[in-house]
Amino acid sequence: MQLGVFGASGQVGSVVRQILIERNFPTRSVRFFATANSAGKTLNFGDTHITIEDTATADFTGLDIALFSAGATMSKQYAPQVVAAGATVVDNSSGWRLNDDVPLVVPEVNPDDIHNAPLGIIANPNCQTMAIMPVLKPLHDAAGLVRLRAVTFQAVSGSGVKGVSTLIEQVKVLGNTPGLQFDGRIDDHPDLGPYVAPIAFNAVPIAGALVDDGMGETDEEIKMRNESRKILHLPDLLVQATCVRVPVYTGHSVAVYAEFEDKISADQATVLLKKAPGVEVTDVPTARLAAGKDPSFVGRIRPDQSAPEGHGLAMFVANDNLRKGAALNAIQIVELVSKK
């Protein structure tokens, strides 16, 4: 097969290239695509160097599978063109996730959904939704998930390169100011980057953009609800999330409170999760533990005292938002498509 990687020079694209080599993905050839700003530059891929092509002017003929990590605008414009040229598209952006004709897939959860892709496009979920899906799936199969509440603690890399650079600069400035008593006021540091308040030494309870729908939610919180329903095939699942941006470079963490139709104990859940694909049970799951690793780490598994007795679980999940949260899951989907 011939594989195309769109957004190859970006933050997620670099992880895609790394994981393709790690997993020895079987390709006849690989082509890299990006914007005109990156076109003509070369990127390492194993022992070779591949020249980046300009997506706007490239000929997509010959591609069998295309992996998009180039943002929703680029995906909406170019994914149909790549499909028309004969390829199947796996898209990392939010552009196609809620389209009824585009499956939203986590391979450990709903792999068979790839067979129902009439547009030739398969979508990758949002990274904070992705982290908890392999954890919730076996528990739902055992007891029937009816309600999900979550608080996320999302790394700045989820905001792209600008999020990372903003944290670096704020830490540098504030950390090098002797005797500074930083009280978190917005005007204490004028360069907020993509955030509504300083991110250094702080926790900002607005991750994503506020949506003007009268509900007071961010797009990240809405994604958690809609994507969980679609992936788990539970259109009426009750979901409430609060998404928080924290001064962590890599790794999203989620406090999960799940309520079930049938009774399920913490011990039963632990046994199920120890056997679940893509999941690792640990005493203290943290973003630092998850960084650079593939599984969703889960721990602090205990009864949820706010749910009807025996019907609720509280737990904490941590996952690398750039690996499984984006690049790895997309590559796993590409592997499923290639086998198909």
Instruction: Say which of 127, 189, 243, 311 is annotated catalytic.
Output: 127
The closest of 338, 270, 339 to 87, measured between CA atoms, is: 338
Instruction: Say which of 140, 189, 243, 252 is annotated catalytic.
Output: 252
Residue 252 appears among annotated catalytic residues: yes
Angle in degrees, CA 209, 214, 215, rounded to 5: 70
Residue 90's region, left for phi above 0, alpha for psi from -120 to 50, else beta, is beta
The closest of 340, 326, 337, 338 to 19, measured between CA atoms, is: 326
Q: How far apart are CA 207 and CA 29, in angstroms?
A: 38
Determine contact, residues 2/28, Cβ cutoff 8 Å: yes
Q: How far apart are CA 63 and CA 55, in angstroms?
A: 13
The closest of 148, 130, 42, 141 to 92, measured between CA atoms, is: 130
Q: How far apart are CA 259 and CA 251, in angstroms?
A: 25
Sequence-distant (6+) residues with CB within 8 A of 141 are none
User: What are the strands of the beta sheet with 312-319, ordered from one edge?
Assistant: 238-245, 145-154, 252-260, 312-319, 296-303, 279-281
Q: What is the dihedral of CA 112, 118, 124, 130, to 10 degrees?
A: -40
Taking CA atoms, 238 is separated from 145, 260, 305, 332, in Å, by 9, 11, 18, 28
Catalytic residue numbers, as ranges: 127, 252
